[in-house]
Amino acid sequence: MRTLGVEEEMLLVDVHDGRPRSVSGQLLVRAARRHPEVPGTGVHGAVEGEFQQQQIETHTPPAGDLDTLRAELWHWRAEAVAAAQGTGSSVAALATSPLPVRPLAVTSPRYAWLEERYRLTAHEHLICGCHVHVSVDGDEEGVGVLDRIRVWLPTLLALSANSPYWNGEDSGYASYRSQVLARWPSWGPTGCFGSADAYHRLVRGMVLSSVILDEGMVYFVARLAQHYPTVEVRAADVCFTVEEAVVVAALCRGLVETAAQEWAQGQAPPDVSTTMVRLATWQAGRDGMEGRLLDWRTGLPVPSWSVLDSLLDHVGPALEAAGDLAVVQDGLARVREEGNGAVRQRRMLARTGQLVDVVAESVRTTAAHDGRQA
């Protein structure tokens, strides 16, 4: 059974007005006091810092089954919420801030370099994603997986879309996070690599170009992880609920297992240009699950749930073999009924007319143990 783990970036917001608050340093001190025995490597799970002082990141340890993963996601969200107490902030699983914000980077040589190099792109960068790690048996299998899952990753973005607001207004996108990422030179869908050597050769060339600082800045939508024997799928917004994150993670594992089998059998990856995958990614960020996505087989727009159903058919055997199929089906049915994060955020604003209420709903849901509002 392939193991999987999840990294969740989340906002720190003021308990009174809902605006992002620059208190990650205080929160991390409190988190370390709660778990002094856990090193900040993510191997055993952790609450860690991120680029901006208005956000944090949690890591789950590797899990073999979805029940364990769900429990770890709840646990580390709860740890972040507990550590935030006393800092004047709460934790919100939102991929962008609905309210206006001036991001403030964490003080470090690396982040200072990023701010000097990328200027406004870095100064305005405050977004939160959900990164899923799925174990692979070496780099060759990992690259074989990357070449075969790329056409499906826009669907994961649409499913998880949780960032419709930017600087106090509706962006017009279900995932505006995907548009903010597009400002960075190394972000986006990739072409087919064909081999681990070709992958690593490209990464070395990117670093040598000096356009990016190092391998950590290879912001592909999916990549070989630097420090773990995993494929890291970086397509998704941070999910509004734990249950949505579990569904996204299970779909990622299903995609990796299915692709690995295709690679082992010598089945060629889909012949779809990077340009078309990029267009599909834009469309996914624009409409989410409320409009249309591009069907990679035809390049034509079809109802979003039709593409999601095709993805479920594609990975169904792998999900069933892992015992994940029923959980994914139930989770998707719930998203159909209740909407993903983008739908929930817009529904709340329509109800109250106040963006602070959008943030408050996320704070309540993030702190709720079962992923529902407290």
Hey, what domains does the chain have and what are their CATH numbers? 4-367 (3.30.590.20)
Q: How many angstroms separate the CA atoms of 92 and 327, rounded?
A: 24
Beta bridge mates, 302: 293
Mean pLDDT (whole number) for 43-61: 91
Q: Specify the pLDDT at position 230.
A: 98
Q: What is the mean pLDDT of residues 61-68?
A: 97
Res 146 pLDDT > 80:
yes
Tokens of 349: 């604003």
**Number of other residues whose CB lies within 10 A of the CB of residue 124:** 16
The DSSP element (H or E) to which 27 belongs, if any, is: helix 24-34
Q: How confident is the model at residue 374 (pLDDT cuts 50, 70, 90)?
A: very low
- Report which residue type is found at 39: P
Task: State how far the Cα of 83 lies from the Cα of 28, in Å rounded to an integer.
Answer: 7
Q: Which amino acid is at 55?
A: Q
For 267-287, what is the mean pLDDT?
98
Q: pLDDT band at residue 37, thresholds of 50, 70 and 90? A: low
- Pick the closest to residue 125 from 133, 136, 137, 114 (CA basis): 114
- Structure token pair of residue 139: 């780099």
pLDDT at 372: 42
Give the pLDDT band (50/70/90) at residue 41.
very low
Alpha-carbon torsion 348, 349, 353, 359, what sign? positive
- pLDDT band for position 1 (50/70/90)? confident
5, 63, 114, 246 from 253: Cα distances, Å: 10, 11, 32, 11
State CA 136 to chain mean position distance: 19
Average pLDDT over residues 162-187: 97
pLDDT tens digit sequence for 204-263: 999 999 999 999 999 999 999 999 999 999 999 999 999 999 999 999 999 999 999 999
The closest alpha carbon to 97, from 124, 122, 127, 123, belongs to 127
Q: Which of 10, 158, 1, 210 is nearest to 97 (CA)?
A: 10
Q: Tokens 């917001």 — which residue?
A: 13
Q: What gap in Å lies between CA 58 and CA 75, rounded to an integer?
A: 10
The stretch 294-321 carries a mean pLDDT of 98
Strand partners, 222: 233
Q: What confidence score (pLDDT) does residue 369 get?
A: 67
Report the pLDDT value the prediction gives residue 32, as an integer from 0 to 100. 86
Tell me the one-letter amino acid at 345.
Answer: Q
Q: What 3-state class would DSSP assign to 172?
A: coil
Residues 6+ apart with CB under 8 A from 334: 243
Distances (CA, A) of 275 to 16, 70, 107, 210, 265: 44, 35, 37, 24, 27
Mean pLDDT of the chain: 95
C-alpha to C-alpha distance for 104 and 167, rounded to whole angstroms: 15
- Tell me the HSE value of 224 on the side-chain side, using a 13 A CA sphere: 23
Q: What pLDDT does 66 receive?
A: 98
The predicted pLDDT at position 282 comes to 98
The total number of residues written for the chain in this structure = 374
